[in-house]
Amino acid sequence: MKQKETMSNTPSDDVIDDLDHVATSFDTPLRADAFEMDDELKIELISKHFKEIMQVLGLDLNDDSLKGTPNRVAKMYVQEVFSGLNPKNKPHARLFENKFGYDQMLVEKEITFYSHCEHHFVPIYGKAHVAYISSGKVIGLSKINRIVQYYAKRPQVQERMTVQIANELRSVLKTEDVAVVIDANHMCVSSRGVGDTNSKTGTAHFSGKFTNEDTKKEFLNYINTPA
């Protein structure tokens, strides 16, 4: 699936709310000063503002079940579900010599991930399937999972996440021969709006040897074969 690097003609604010997949770049849109504020202050401010949201909704923050919610949400946002925004959390990918001379595809399939839709801040969850062909170096298998998790843990659009993972693997592994397929459930589709609980969204990115139809077919057959 060929991806465009930039989507132009961004809709105006009055129509953006009706669109499910508006994106302006395959880089996560971050301000230049995004990390000048430390995590503790971010947690403090998010907690304050989320408390105000709960009060606007009419919730009783004196209730034992609710009074700790603003702080819990703030910590979850900064330390967990959006921790992939911060470059300091980027996994360090150590490479090893391909001493076995393995020159076929290596496939890591069914990597479970949890992300959040950047349009409604509700969960996206699913499976990522990744493959690469070594150009002389190999990567520890757990690092592939960590790369997927790093790009998932931020407000996302599935198309962007697919390309970000592929770009990172190409950069780290020094190979163009990379494939990424993602199948995901979007809570913005199933829990609101159309309310379709059965549909899934698929995205793919192929580069290098994986643009060859036989190589692509081999990869797709492998990830679609039950374990």
Q: Annotated catalytic residue: which of 149, 158, 159, 168? A: 158
Residue 183 within any structural domain of the chain: yes
pTM: 0.86
User: What's the CATH number where 158 sits?
Assistant: 3.30.1130.10
- Does 118 qualify as catalytic in the annotation? yes
**What confidence tier does 226 reach under pLDDT thresholds 50, 70, 90?**
confident
Question: Which pLDDT does position 199 carry in this prediction?
Answer: 77
Going by C-alpha positions, the residue among 183, 164, 170, 168 that lies closest to residue 210 is: 170
> Is there a contact between 35 and 191 (Cβ–Cβ < 8 Å)?
no
- Does 129 qualify as catalytic in the annotation? no
Going by C-alpha positions, the residue among 216, 199, 151, 155 that lies closest to residue 1 is: 216
Question: Which pLDDT does position 79 carry in this prediction?
Answer: 97
- Does 188 qualify as catalytic in the annotation? yes
- Does 205 qualify as catalytic in the annotation? no
- Does 158 qualify as catalytic in the annotation? yes
Beta strands 137-139 and 95-97 are antiparallel
> Is there a contact between 210 and 216 (Cβ–Cβ < 8 Å)?
yes
188 is in an annotated binding site: yes
Residue range of the domain that includes 143:
95-223
Question: Which pLDDT does position 195 carry in this prediction?
Answer: 63
21 is in an annotated binding site: no
pLDDT, one tens digit per residue, over 81-131 is 999 999 999 999 889 999 889 999 999 999 999 999 999 999 999 999 999
Going by C-alpha positions, the residue among 26, 6, 22 that lies closest to residue 14 is: 22
Residue 206 within any structural domain of the chain: yes
116 is in an annotated binding site: no
**64 and 113 inside one domain:** no
% of the chain residues with pLDDT over 90: 78
